[in-house]
Structure 1
Amino acid sequence: MKPRISMITLGVRDLERAVKFYGEGLGFPMMETSPGVAFFPLNGTWLSLYPREALAEDARVSPEGSGFESFTLAHNVQSEAEVDEAMARARAVRAGATAAKQPEKVFWGGYSGYFKDPDGHLWEVAYNPHFWVGPRDDQA
């Protein structure tokens, strides 16, 4: 088996609000799909949004939960300025995110900040000078 993550599905409380956040707020491209689910292609993987109750039912687990969910999602960018720009865009009133940690230089030599989407999923926006996944903008 080749290791890869092909799709990340987030259980959301309000699908319409979540679609607006990721599509309009963050600018993720959305595919036209059937009602009740949304898909965003993300350069090698997919982000899926599905109603939280229905996702929990499908996995046969309780939909209840709060606090830290034991994982974060990360969006790596090519500079500290891009971290600041992405964080500002996510926190925009129109987008609906809340800041969890303001961008700052971090112990591993990079620069990062965190925001929560409208359902509380933690996203890190990071610049890591030590590695990059994918082609650089100037090499695309």
Structure 2
Amino acid sequence: MKKTEVGVDEFLAGVSPAKRQRDAATMVTLMHDITGHEPEMWGTIVGFGSCHYRYPTGTEGDVPIAAFSPRRQATTIYLLDTGAHADRLAKLGPHETGAGCLYIKDLEAIDADVLREIVTDDYRRVIDGDTGSATFTVTG
């Protein structure tokens, strides 16, 4: 995955519906507060910080440390492993999960403190190198 030249504000201005745009602004603030990194675009993903990953199989690449994408149907929050957050997810409110993804249709309907805990924990795991089978090296 590579960073793109599109500005975050420019990208977010084109997000629809309006609720998703509002949620995206909330996520930018939340992730900036947690990571201390300015948002950058990685295609249609808003990322904070960067790292290089490598699996024992040799698969490797670059990704943001914390990231989300305001998709039409839901805000997608990218996590290392949603299973690691099972207890918190039970308290979060309405959401769905997929492989490394947390889907939230309305940020106003969930517990913001629980979401902050989930994102903070995931960010710390990358920074601390507690990521399971992959090796992550922070690059920015």
TM > 0.5 fold call:
no
* Greater C-alpha radius of gyration: 1
* Larger fraction in helix: 2
